[in-house]
Amino acid sequence: MPGLPGGRVVLLNKPYGVLCQFTSADGRPTLAGLCGVPGVYPAGRLDADSEGLVVLTADGALQAAITDPRRKLPKTYLVQVEGLPDEPALARLRSGVALADGPTRPARVRSIDEPPDLWPRTPPVRFRRRIPTAWLEIELTEGRNRQVRRMTAAVGFPTLRLVRRRVGPWSLDGLAPGHWREEPVAPRVLSSAAPKTSPSPADAKRPAAPRRSRRPR
């Protein structure tokens, strides 16, 4: 199979249980079993127990633009939680939650009905019979390790199912689990994700990451 043409990305709907990488030392399922386009790699991570959109690219500069937290590229998640979050809990998620690695940035959060076009998960989500569940739509502009799960747990509503629906201008719409398609890179991806001139209050409270030297190309 030929490599990915310039100016394009691969959008893949990662199923539950698949590692967001192309190799596994212990034989667990990886992206290699789903996408055979050579030379691409994920622009950002998605936990094995999460589902949904993964953007793959062969362009190192584009990968950096998508994942650089200073660029604040929005990522949207559909989140099923245990319990029924009230308005104070939603307000805490919106304004920022104190986590062990510092406060989160403000987020867009709203209650939604169960998405009608969402596929059944394999294996099914394990529910507690007497506890109701609810769905939230959460849009973040940062991507810490297991951030959504830690945020909902911090306000008392553990995440049961997590599906990433959007990354910047790219959407999961029309992609079945395990399927992928190519799409062009819109010019606004880089322009709309330009670094901000001043950090958010959450950023200011976290120590700056050490700078890494780049290898010459």
182 - beta bridge partners? Answer: 10
Is 117 marked active-site?
no
- Its sign, for the CA torsion 23, 25, 30, 36, is positive
Q: CA dist 29 to 38, 49, 74, 160, 161, Å?
A: 18, 12, 28, 21, 19
Catalytic residue among 26, 47, 86, 203: 47
Q: Is 51 helix (H, G, I), strand (E, B) or coil?
A: strand
Torsion angle of C-alpha atoms 37, 38, 42, 48, degrees rounded to 10: 70
Q: Which residues are catalytic?
A: 47
